[in-house]
Structure 1
Amino acid sequence: MNFDKDWEETEIQLSENEFTHRQQNDEYMFYQYVASGNTEAVQDNIAHHRFLDSSGTGTLSRDPLQNLKYHFVVSVALITRICTEKGMEMERAFRLSDFYIQKLDDIKTIDSLSDLHSTMVMDYTLRMQNLRQNANLSRTTNECLNYIYSNVNDRITIEDLAEYTQNSTSHISRLFKDELGISPSDYIRNVKLDKAKNLLRFSDYSIIDIANYLSFSSQSHFSKLFFEDTGMTPKKYRETYYGTTWNNLH
C-alpha cells in the first residue's frame, strides 16, 4: 500500500474543501473545565451536544459511529492526562480510562455513545471537584485516602493506615476527624459502599461476590450496612439502578 500517495491525495482533498480543525483553544478550555471540576461548564457542553458536533474535527473513520469511537478514545486519553497533571492519582485516572474505553465494545448507536461520553466527562469532573475540595488536606491524610482507594477490596484497618504513613493510630484518627469530619473506619466503609453501588449498577457480579470482593465480614453484614446507607437492599438497588448513568442519580 502506498501511504505517501494516499496522504498526498487526502491532503489535496482537505485543502480543496478548505477544511480546518477546530481551534485547539476550544478543546483545551473544555478539558480544563473537566480538570477544574467545573460541573456547570461541562453540563453546558453536554447540553449543546458538542461531542456530536463534527465541524472542525478530523475524520478518523468513514463509518460515523467508529469515527466517534476513535474521538472518544482521544478525548478520554487527553482528559486522563490533564487530570493526572492536576492532581488525580495516576492509577485511579488510568483505571477510569480503561473502564470507559472497554465500554465502547457494547456501544451500537451514536446516541448511546453520546450518553457514554457525557457520563465519562461528568465522572472525571465530579472526581476532580471532590479532589479540589480535598486540596487543603494534609499530606498524611491524602496518603491515607490513596491507600484506601488502591486497596478498597482488602480489609483495611486504622492500623494499616498508621503503618503505611508511619504515624500513630491516634494521630490518624485525629486527622480524619479534624480534616474530613469522619472517623477512619466510617470513611473506609463509605468508600467500600460507593464501590459496591458501582458494581451493582455496572457489573453482573452477584451480591455475595461483591460482599466477598470488598472484604465485608458476611453478606448479611454488607446488606445491613448498605441498607443503613441507602435505605435500600443491594437487590433493590440493582433492580432500580442497573445500567443507569450519573444523571439518573443526581
Structure 2
Amino acid sequence: MNVEPIWQPVLLEEENAVTSHREPGEEFLFYRSVAAGLIDAVQDNCSRGAFENMEGVGKLSDNPVTNLRYHFVVTAAMITRFCMEGGMPLEEAFGLSDEYIRRMDCCTNMAEIVYVHDQMALDFVCRMRHLRKNIASSKQVAQAIDYIYVHIMDRITVNELAEAINISPTHLSRIFKQETGISVSEYIRQRKIDMAKNLLRFSNYDFVEIAVMLSYSSQSHFIQHFRSQVGMTPKAYRKQNYLNNWNVNRDSADGIT
C-alpha cells in the first residue's frame, strides 16, 4: 500500500523569520556581467569583496565557513546557467563549475574560498569575452566588439571607436557590417538595450537612472530605442519580467549541480 507523503510546512525560527534579505539585483547583474564578458565589472565586484559580504543574504549554516561554502555553490550554479544562456557549451560550463566546486571543497577557511570564487568568476568571464569576440573573423572587428562591451555604459560613436582601434571610421563600418551583418551603430544600440533589459529585470533603478547610466541623451530617447528594439516600453518589460525572472532563476539554482 502506497502512503502519500504529507506536506508539513517548516516552522521558521523567530530570528530567521525577521531577517531582511537584500534585493537580488546586484547578484544578478554580477552574473550577467560574467556572461557578457565584462571583465572590468567582474574585477570590480571581486575587488570590493561583494561575495564575502554576508549582510542581507541567507544564513544557510551557523558555521561561517560552511555558510560561505553553500553560497559558493549557489553562485557557481547561477554563473553556469547564465553563461550557458550566453552561448557557452554545456559541457564546458558544467565542467568548469564542477572543477571550481571541487577546489572550493579543499579550502579550509573563508579567505581561501573567496580566492577560489574570484578565480572562478574571472575564468568564466574571460572565456565568455573570448566567445563574444569569436563572432568576428578579423582582429580589428574583434577589438571593436571588445571595446564596445568594456565601454557599454559610455556614449560610443563610430569615430571614437575607430580612433580607439586605430583604423578609419569608413573602413571600420565596412568590415564590421561584413562580419557581423549589422552596422556598428546598430550593434552598439543592441548591446545597450541588452544591458538595459538586465537592469530592468534585476535592479530597482528607475528609467531616468538607467538612461543616464547608459549615456542616453534623455529618458525619452532611451524609451524610444528600447521600444524599437524590444517591442514594448521599459515599464511594460519590467512589469512582465522582473519578479517572474527572479523566481525562475532562484528555483533553477536549486536544480543545477
Question: Residue 83 of structure 2: which of 103, 109, 124 is its match?
Answer: 124
Indicate if the aligned counterparts of 2:38 and 2:150 stay in contact, CA closer than 8 A: no
Indicate if the aligned counterparts of 1:196 and 1:210 stay in contact, CA closer than 8 A: yes
Distance 2:52 2:152 in 1: 22
Residue 108 of structure 1 aligns with which residue?
58
Shift of 1:189: 0.5
What percentage of aligned pairs have identical amino acids?
34
Higher RCO, Cα 8 Å, sep 6+: 2
Q: Pick the structure with greater CA Rg.
A: 1
Shift of 1:90: 4.1
Matches within 5 A, 1:63-142: 90-91=39-40, 93-94=42-43, 101=51, 105-108=55-58, 117-127=76-86, 129=88, 131-132=130-131, 134-135=133-134, 136-142=136-142
- The reply to whether residue 165 of structure 1 matches residue 114 of structure 2 is no
Q: Which runs of 5+ in 1 are unaligned?
A: 1-75
Corresponding residue SS for 2:51: helix
Distance 1:151 1:191 in 2: 11
Of the structure 1 ranges 98-107 and 119-128, higher mean CA displacement relative to structure 2 is found in 98-107
Indicate if the aligned counterparts of 1:201 and 1:241 stay in contact, CA closer than 8 A: yes
TM-aligned CA distance change 1:128 to 1:93, over 3 Å: farther
The TM-score, its normalising length taken from structure 1, stands at 0.55
Residue 194 of structure 1 aligns with which residue?
194
Indicate if the aligned counterparts of 2:133 and 2:146 stay in contact, CA closer than 8 A: no
Corresponding residue SS for 1:101: coil
Residue 123 of structure 2 aligns with which residue?
none
Offset from partner CA, 1:6-49 (integer Å, 9 cap, x none): xxxxxxxxxxxxxxxxxxxxxxxxxxxxxxxxxxxxxxxxxxxx
The TM-score, its normalising length taken from structure 2, stands at 0.53
Shift of 1:139: 1.2
Corresponding residue SS for 1:242: helix
Shift of 1:226: 0.7
Shift of 1:105: 4.9
TM-aligned CA distance change 1:133 to 1:198, over 3 Å: closer
TM-aligned CA distance change 1:151 to 1:134, over 3 Å: closer
Matches within 5 A, 1:166-245: 166-243=166-243, 244-245=245-246
Shift of 1:125: 3.4
Q: Which runs of 5+ in 2 are unaligned?
A: 1-29, 61-69, 89-127, 250-257
Shift of 1:118: 3.2
Distance 2:138 2:162 in 1: 14
Offset from partner CA, 1:128-178 (integer Å, 9 cap, x none): 637437425311111111111111111100001110011011111012111
Shift of 1:117: 4.2
